[in-house]
Amino acid sequence: MTVVNCEKCIGCGLCVKDCIARDIKIVDQKAVVRNVNCMNCGHCIAICPQNAVTIEEYNMEEVKAYSKEHFDIESETLLNFIKYRRSVRQFKAQDVESKILEKIIEAGRFTQTGINMQDVSYAVIKSGLPELRGMTLESLKNTGEYILANLTPENKMYENYARMWIKMYTSYQTNPEGSDFLFFNAPVVIVISAKSEVNGALAASNMELMANALGLGTFFSGFLAKAAHGNAQIRDFLQIKEGKEVVCAMVIGHPAVKYKRTVPRKQADITWM
């Protein structure tokens, strides 16, 4: 429940104007939250000049006052940071500490979600990676065999992947300790699941930026995400909650490669109207 401290409130009405749910009104020169349509988004907390608003369900000690020094980023620096990021598939044999992983997840936790659903969940896999690898490769192998046996026009585009997945599984069965072309010997994988694919993807994007800012290397494993789709064994292992789907799998480690420059891209496809 959202609560306004009447002793602090000056009745300025800024929270009323900024409330998308239209759930706040001014009564006797004080802001009053009806808590009927409130989504607990916190806009009223952020905009209040008197710090008069709290949400009982949240830890209000997390709230930080704005300061230019600690909050602003130069636009050109941010753009270059985004341009410089690379998907990394070469990792050092070095663990990633839990406190670092928690900071990456924090970047996901504070990412916006539609109607403030906050529906994103995170499964952090470290010691369970060998087991997850085996289940994933088996699932991909089964999918590959199905595709090759049913080469419809839609499946035809995945034919090369199907053969690759079967080969990866065969190599794994022959030598489980051999080359890892799934996780590339990274020490940790974070699987992001959500009710909304958009919410999960937005969180994952911010998490990747945080991982890069921490000097880590990452790539998103589309293979694991595909293997988990509709696979009860993998879903149970990852403890995916009912109503949620695996959106993406973020492979993380200390990079064993250093890139020297950015790379070019196609021109943006823009329609100005």
Contact 166, 144 (CB under 8 A): yes
- Supply 132's token pair: 């997850």
As its CATH architecture, domain 2-62 has 2-Layer Sandwich (3.30)
For residue 271, what pLDDT is reported? 98
Contact 4, 31 (CB under 8 A): yes
Give the homologous superfamily in CATH for domain 75-129+182-253.
NADH Oxidase (3.40.109.10)
For residue 14, what pLDDT is reported? 98
Give pLDDT tens digits for 253-265: 999 999 999 999 9
Average pLDDT over residues 243-250: 97
d(CA 147, CA 60): 52
Average pLDDT over residues 41-58: 97
For residue 12, what pLDDT is reported? 97
d(CA 158, CA 144): 8
The DSSP output letter for 20 is T
For residue 155, what pLDDT is reported? 87
For residue 172, what pLDDT is reported? 95
Say yes or no to pLDDT of 84 above 90: yes
Average pLDDT over residues 194-221: 98
Contacts of 100 (CB under 8 A, 6+ apart): 214, 216
Say yes or no to pLDDT of 236 above 90: yes
Average pLDDT over residues 142-162: 93
For residue 164, what pLDDT is reported? 96
Lowest mean pLDDT among 13-17, 102-106, 112-116, 150-154: 150-154
Residue of 82, 90, 1, 93 whose CA lies nearest to 39? 1
